[in-house]
Amino acid sequence: MQEEEKNKESQAPAEEQAPPEQAAEEAPAAEPAEEPVAADAGDAAAAEPAAEAPPEEPAEQLSPKQRRKQARAHATGIRAPERSVEDRARERTETRARKGAARSRWRARRREKKNAARTSAPAAEDRAAQKGAAAESGNRKMRQGVVVSSKGDKTITVRIDAVRRHRVYGKVIRDTRTLHAHDESNQAGEGDIVRIMECRPLSRTKRWRLVDVLEKAR
């Protein structure tokens, strides 16, 4: 009987020590339940600065030159082999020679056209005969205009209106100028259409003389 009581007493402390082990096992199991709460608090704290972050500034605008340079830097095409200084000089010389030959051919064709137009135009004698009184003057210039003033003695002021097209741009250009002409018999009046011809200097402003009156003013 005494041995049974001793065995019971020895088993009793072992049973009393068991609950602390179970409590230790239950305590770690309860700790992970608190971690999601801490994680949720951390996510909320991280989300608040993200929401309060200032808006990003717009990208810097690049100039056309910078965009071309950037496109060349990121180009993925086949790159041409590098050339030496001698190769570049030789290619430049060949290009200049080719362009020079093309210009020479163009000038030759233009000369041929001018010569053909000159031969097809009437001869100098025919042109002089058509001018009538200007035949004796040789190659002196002839102008046709309107008399705007005849107040001076033996002097008229003639307005010359010229309309031509610009040889490069094709724009119609209107030009007006006045010339002083010598009228020996004072036969021209204001508003008359006259033909004048250049001559030797007759006064400080007169370098033209009246040839004939084409149309009288009404």
CATH number for the domain that contains residue 164 = 2.40.50.140
Q: Is the pLDDT of residue 2 over 90?
A: no
Q: Is the pLDDT of residue 116 over 80?
A: yes
Q: Are residues 207 and 153 in the same domain?
A: yes
CA 26/CA 17 separation, integer angstroms: 15
Q: Are residues 153 and 164 in the same domain?
A: yes
Supply the pLDDT for residue 207: 95
- Choose the weakest-confidence range: 27-31, 110-114, 166-170: 27-31
Q: Are residues 152 and 176 in the same domain?
A: yes
Domain contains 175: yes
Supply the pLDDT for residue 82: 84
Over residues 39-49, the pLDDT tens digits come to 454 554 445 55
CA 85/CA 90 separation, integer angstroms: 9
Q: Are residues 193 and 132 in the same domain?
A: no
What domain range is 113 assigned to? Answer: 97-139
Domain contains 5: no
Q: Are residues 149 and 131 in the same domain?
A: no
Q: Are residues 117 and 152 in the same domain?
A: no
pTM of the predicted model over 0.75: no
Q: Are residues 175 and 150 in the same domain?
A: yes
Q: Is the pLDDT of residue 29 over 50?
A: no
Kindly state the average pLDDT of the residues 141-153: 94
Domain contains 90: no
Domain contains 210: yes
Q: Are residues 127 and 182 in the same domain?
A: no
The domain total for the chain is 2
> What Å distances lie between residue 198 and 13, 75, 126, 168, 214, CA to CA?
149, 69, 20, 30, 17
Supply the pLDDT for residue 33: 46
- Choose the weakest-confidence range: 2-6, 98-102, 103-107, 179-183: 2-6
Kindly state the average pLDDT of the residues 170-176: 95
Q: Are residues 159 and 200 in the same domain?
A: yes
